[in-house]
Homo-oligomer: A and B are copies of this chain.
Amino acid sequence: MADLVRPTDDGARRQAQRLFGTARHGALGVIDPASGAPQVSRVALRPDGADLLMLVSTLSRHWAALEARPDCSLLLGEPGPEGDPLAAPRLTLAARAAMAQKEALKSEWLAWHPKAALYYDFADFRLMRLEVSHGFLVGGFGRAFELSRADLENSKGPG
Give chain A's interface residues, CB within 8 Å of chain B. Answer: 1-4, 24-25, 27-31, 35-42, 44, 57, 59-61, 64, 71-75, 77-79, 83-88, 90, 92, 94, 113, 115-116, 119, 136, 138, 141
Q: A78-B78, A84-B116 are in contact. List 12 more A-B contacts (CB 8 A).
A: A1-B57, A25-B79, A27-B27, A29-B38, A29-B73, A30-B38, A37-B72, A38-B38, A39-B73, A42-B138, A44-B84, A84-B115
Closest to A64 in B: B2
Q: Which of A60, A86, A141 has the most CB of B within 10 A?
A: A86
Q: State the oligomeric state as a number of copies.
A: 2
- A39 near B29 (CB under 8 angstroms)? yes
A3 to B57, CA, bound (A): 11
Closest to A80 in B: B78
A78 to B88, CA, bound (A): 14
Q: What would 15 A/B residue contacts be, using CB atoms closer than 8 Å?
A: A2-B64, A4-B59, A24-B85, A25-B86, A27-B27, A27-B75, A30-B38, A31-B38, A38-B38, A38-B72, A40-B92, A41-B138, A83-B115, A84-B116, A86-B116
A79: chain B residues within 8 A (beta carbon): 25, 42
Closest to A41 in B: B92
A40-B71 in contact given A64-B2, A136-B61 (Cβ < 8 Å): no
